């Protein structure tokens, strides 16, 4: 059988079309036969062939066994912060900022593949490479900004889950935050070693729940295609829409996903497990990233379209609770419940992945392998404080996305430099054209963040 990336292993197995006699069967591979040695029974030969075939498939010489890391990273692109930013954008501005999501998702495909490529070629994560090249003071300062980003990330994820539990079961937001923290900690038990594949499968299953929960409403009230196409034309109307665009960008291109993907591609294989070649892994990673982020990008665009089509101009949609109640009133209680389930799945998956990323950032930069529960506590406590004291948790979500947007350059600029470093990447170094595109993406992101800071300082945002 021939496989797209399987190399010589794809043609290893041959199938007999008949049942030849024992004396005509080939010997088992590696076995020498003398005239006095009886022929190897057919059943033994077939068993050995089956064992070898199973080994080759298990070790990833098939596309399906390479897929997975990008789908885990993609969870970061459909967290509750995305829900808040996209629904608020659609409710306020209609289809105005559809182009922002499409552009951000296109950029994220490039960025996530570059992160995966760095990890595959070097065998190290982006935080590890940063830690090797910075002074002690530099490593600590870089870690502190990354930790602020991790806290902002978990803020969105825990608050979103608490809101979902409140909508579904009437739980107090603080209690809901505790429940989300407990369940996500249990999920993290599976993220290391030989159970890592199980962790990936759990996260991918939650990603499918998210997709169904948020896309369902689109079929109940289909939008006008011409209105959607109009939103693909890049433009702004007010300075406030620029702030919202930056928030959406922060929710779409996630800093911790950039750091983490370079780790995921290596953690995908258990210690001692044979890996495919670098070229095979890079080919599989392209497909992995394309499909995973196409799914995540579709969910984001659908959220904005639903809000623009059904909630535009409605009062009270600036909060997730208000948006859910508006969805119930317009699209019915079934859609509202499915939306809440999608929000809950989004929270559980993304907060687990975010804590995993924070642990790897600490390990790479500070060379400290902290217990996962300790990393969970560090980012969970600020979210619980906000749930206890904040009058409008959804606004905290949007502000958190702005903070994430400011943190993007700290992840993307080193990634851009390292993938263009021949001493690191060897024959897989980025060519001039690809590097120029990557530089343009980085400049656009940094420029948008500078504009956001200026507007905020001037009090116009």
Question: Which of 176, 260, 305, 241 has its CA nearest to residue 460?
Answer: 241
DSSP 23: G
Nearest to 70 by CA among 107, 123, 108, 125: 108
pLDDT for 126 = 95
DSSP string over 185-242: HHHHTTSSGGGHHHHHHHHHHHHHHHHHHHHHHHHHSPPPHHHHHHTTS---SSHHHH
Query: How far are the Cα atoms of 23, 30, 40, 47, 348 from residue 37, in angstroms, in the given order?
Result: 12, 14, 9, 20, 62
Listed residue (77, 92, 34, 364) closest to 249, CA to CA: 77
Q: Which two tokens stand for residue 298?
A: 């579709």
pLDDT at 394: 65
pLDDT at 415: 96
Q: What is the pLDDT of residue 284?
A: 93
For residues 418 and 424, the answer to whether their CB atoms sit within 8 Å is: yes
In angstroms, the first-to-last Cα distance of the chain is 60
* pLDDT at site 171: 92
Alpha helices in 268-332 (DSSP H): 278-310, 320-331
CB 279 within 8 A of CB 428: no
DSSP letter at 94 equals T
| Chain region(s) in the chain for CATH 1.20.1740.10 | 59-457
Which phi and psi angles does 188 have, rounded to 5°?
Answer: -70, -15
Fold of 59-457: Amino acid/polyamine transporter I (1.20.1740)
In this prediction, residue 48 carries a pLDDT of: 54
In order along the chain (461 residues), what is the average pLDDT of each group of 10 residues? 42 42 43 49 49 43 74 87 83 93 92 96 94 92 88 85 92 93 85 72 89 87 91 87 76 82 88 85 94 92 91 78 85 90 90 86 89 86 87 70 78 94 95 94 81 70 56
Rg (CA), the chain: 25
Answer whether 387's CB lies under 8 Å from 177's CB. Answer: yes
Distance between CA atoms of residues 215 and 211, nearest Å: 6
**Are the beta carbons of 307 and 217 closer than 8 angstroms?**
no
């Amino acid at each position: 059988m021939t496989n797209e990336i399987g190399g010589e292993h794809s043609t290893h197995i041959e199938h007999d079309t008949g049942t030849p006699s024992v004396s005509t069967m080939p010997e088992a591979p590696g076995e020498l036969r003398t005239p006095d040695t009886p022929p190897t029974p057919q059943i033994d030969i077939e068993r050995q062939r089956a064992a070898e075939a199973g080994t080759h498939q298990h070790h990833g010489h098939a596309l399906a066994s390479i897929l997975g890391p990008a789908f885990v990273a993609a969870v970061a692109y459909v967290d509750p912060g995305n829900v808040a930013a996209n629904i608020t954008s659609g409710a306020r501005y209609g289809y105005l900022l559809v182009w922002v999501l499409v552009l951000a998702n296109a950029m994220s495909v490039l960025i996530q593949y570059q992160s995966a490529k760095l990890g595959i070629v070097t065998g190290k994560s982006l935080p590890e490479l940063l830690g090797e090249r910075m002074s002690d003071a530099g490593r600590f300062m870089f870690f502190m900004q990354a930790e602020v980003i991790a806290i902002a990330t978990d803020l969105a994820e825990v608050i979103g889950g608490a809101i979902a539990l409140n909508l579904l079961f009437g739980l107090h937001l603080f209690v809901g935050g505790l429940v989300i923290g407990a369940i996500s900690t249990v999920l993290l038990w599976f993220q290391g070693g030989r159970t890592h594949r199980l962790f990936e499968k759990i996260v991918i299953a939650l990603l499918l729940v998210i997709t169904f929960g948020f896309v369902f409403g689109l079929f109940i009230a289909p939008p006008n295609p011409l209105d959607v196409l109009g939103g693909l034309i890049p433009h702004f109307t007010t300075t406030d829409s620029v702030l919202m665009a930056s928030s959406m960008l922060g929710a779409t291109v996630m800093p911790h996903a950039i750091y983490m993907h370079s780790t995921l591609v290596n953690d995908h294989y258990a210690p001692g497990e044979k890996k495919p070649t670098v070229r095979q892994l890079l080919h599989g990673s392209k497909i992995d990233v394309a499909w995973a982020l196409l799914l995540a990008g579709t969910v984001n665009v659908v959220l904005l379209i639903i809000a623009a089509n059904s909630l535009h101009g409605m009062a009270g949609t600036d909060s997730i609770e208000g948006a859910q109640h508006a969805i119930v009133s317009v699209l019915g209680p079934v859609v509202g419940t499915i939306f809440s389930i999608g929000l809950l799945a989004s929270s559980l998956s993304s907060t687990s992945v975010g804590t995993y990323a924070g642990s790897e950032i600490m390990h790479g930069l500070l060379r400290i392998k902290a217990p996962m529960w300790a990393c969970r506590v560090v980012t969970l406590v600020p979210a619980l404080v906000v749930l206890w004291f904040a009058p409008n948790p959804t606004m905290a979500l949007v502000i958190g996305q702005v903070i994430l947007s400011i943190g993007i350059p700290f992840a993307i600029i080193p990634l851009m430099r390292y993938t263009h470093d021949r001493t690191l990447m060897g024959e897989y170094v980025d060519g001039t054209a690809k590097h120029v595109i990557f530089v343009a993406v980085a400049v656009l992101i940094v420029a948008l963040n500078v504009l956001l800071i200026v507007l905020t300082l001037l009090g116009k945002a």
